[in-house]
Amino acid sequence: MWRLDLRSGLLAAIAVFALALSARAQVVVDPTLTLQQLLPFGSLTQPTSMAFLGADDFLVLEKTTGNVRRVVGGVLQVAPVLTVPVNFSSERGLLGIAINHETPRKVFLYYTEAATLGGTAIANRVYRYTWNAGTGTLVSPSLVLDLPVTPGPNHNGGVLVLGPPNQFPGVGDGAALFVVIGELNRNGQLQNSAFGSAPDDTGVIFRVRQDGTAIPGNPFTPYCSVTTAQTCASSATCPGGETCRTQIARYWAYGVRNSFGLALDAQTGQLWDTENGPDTFDEINRVLPGMNSGWTDIMGPDALDPQGVGDLFNIPGAGLTYSDPEFSWQSTVAPTAIVFPYGSSLGPAYDSRAIVADNNNGLLYAFPLNAGRTGFALSGALADLVANTQTEANPLTFGQDFGAITDLKVGPSGDLYAVDLGLGTVFRISGPAQPVPMFSQLALALFGTALGVALAIRLATRRPAAR
């Protein structure tokens, strides 16, 4: 995956592991489902993310080449639709993609930009391109977010997610754009160090309009960089020498170590992520507005962490909004993509499931959601929502013997697609059911009203959670 400095080893080790897996049969454990390998192994060079232009027509990114490739009817097109100059060392490269629904379509790319392919990293950036259907190319780039980058192994995140259209009119199709960046091995206020450096756009999840501006109703209030309890509208209202940190108005959550998975549950409109820990405790989180994910103080449940919530840094405007992950692995597995296949061709049995990829073990898991879709309904050894061993997690297995699944998407046909960085291919999982639209009218209403109403109530009533 694009996190190539994992406990699981460097690129060479992953390549050897992937070659071994290519000789084994990738499977899904449900006999009612069909697994299809769309492209020969190695057709793509370290693919990271995909997004659909139409039925059986999608774009997929190559981390190290900077190529945006197109697959139509299961056939990889020869010429890339775009090549961007990326720094691809460690976890950097061409990482995230999202496509909106306006005409002509707009395609958003997250990549580590360099002056030339493989050159020195300039920044992690999000650009908006226009899809030229006539030429089959991406044109007219426009900068959306200009984000920091750090030399050496670091946590770049890179996943992009668009919400339902027509929620925030005026820019693009009116969908919110969610973007995650890792903490780049920094230790500032966004990493819960109260006396660390002021917010620097690391270790956060953004929620912005499609031009990169803050969306009204975001949970954080700009504040003065040193006198952190003093909110502000501009630096002119701060004490001398201090800067008003206006960029935090674009944040949805902070305290994130690194993430390779973002997804919206279309039935509730709520955002979820996967988060990679250091040598213990990877997480799955429901990302409520203003969430403090706890890093660097806490990974995994607070009850199993010696530090507790007392040292967490409270960013003005949202209160102390730490909450335990919905699930944790005590021994790290490097979770990547997450998807909610409600209404997919997989069938009703999967309407109340979240499917999550495990890089280190080449697995896919199917987590059963509780009735309110606020967490997981688990019992037995997993009733504490922690897999203390891999044996405890194995009953959740949905698929196995993959290389490194880095993206999961439900396509327009309702089938589930899986991008495999390790094997250089894309898989399709289909079932016997007739799919329904992913964003129903109910989901659109929920997304538009629940976030605003719940945000106001939550910010007025929240208190530190007992983890």
pLDDT at residue number 320 = 62
Helix (H, G, I), strand (E, B) or coil at 335: strand
Give the C-alpha separation, 148 to 83, whole Å: 22
Contact 155, 256 (CB under 8 A): no
* Cβ atoms < 10 Å from Cβ of 106: 24
pLDDT for the residue 4 = 38
pLDDT of 130 reads 98
Of residues 124, 31, 129, the one with CA closest to residue 86: 124
Torsion of CA 318, 189, 124, 327, to 10 degrees: -60
Neighbours of 379 (CB within 10 A): 7
pLDDT at 465: 37
Per-residue model confidence (pLDDT) at position 229: 83
Give me the residues of the chain with pLDDT under 70, please.
1-23, 319-320, 436-467
CA distances for 161 relative to 37, 176, 209, 347, 392, angstroms: 25, 8, 12, 24, 31
Token digits for 289?
Answer: 């507005």
- Quick one: pLDDT at residue 10? 36
Q: How many CB atoms lie within 10 A of CB 368?
A: 14
The DSSP symbol for 132 reads E
Burial of 298: CB neighbours in 10 Å, binned 0-12, 13-18, 19+: buried
Which pTM does this prediction carry? 0.91
The contacts of residue 10 (CB under 8 Å, 6+ apart) are 4
Q: CA quadruple 459, 335, 196, 235: dihedral positive or negative?
A: negative
pLDDT at 464: 35
Give the 3-state secondary structure of residue 90: coil
Q: Which amino acid is at 184?
A: L
Residue 123 is predicted with a pLDDT of 98
Q: Is the peptide bond before 104 cis (omega within 30 degrees of 0)?
A: yes
Is the CB of residue 97 less than 8 Å from the CB of residue 84?
A: no
Distance CA 70, CA 77 (A): 6
Cα–Cα nearest to 210, from 170, 265, 158, 261:
170
CA distance from start to end of the chain: 31
Say how many C-beta atoms besides its own lie within 10 A of residue 67's C-beta.
21
**What's the confidence (pLDDT) of residue 175?**
98
CA atoms within 13 A on the CB side of 160: 32
Contacts of 116 (CB under 8 A, 6+ apart): 85
Spell 303-328 as b/e; 16+ CB within 10 A means b.
Answer: ebbeeebeebbbbbbbbbbbbbbbbb
Q: Partners of 341 in the beta sheet?
A: none
| DSSP designation for 359 | T
| pLDDT confidence of residue 433 | 84
Query: Which ranges of 49-161 would DSSP assign to H, the alpha helix?
Result: none
Identity at 252, one-letter amino acid code: W
Q: Just give the CATH number of 11-461.
A: 2.120.10.30
- If you ran DSSP here, which 8-state letter would residue 375 be given? S
> What six digits make up the tokens of 74?
């299961």
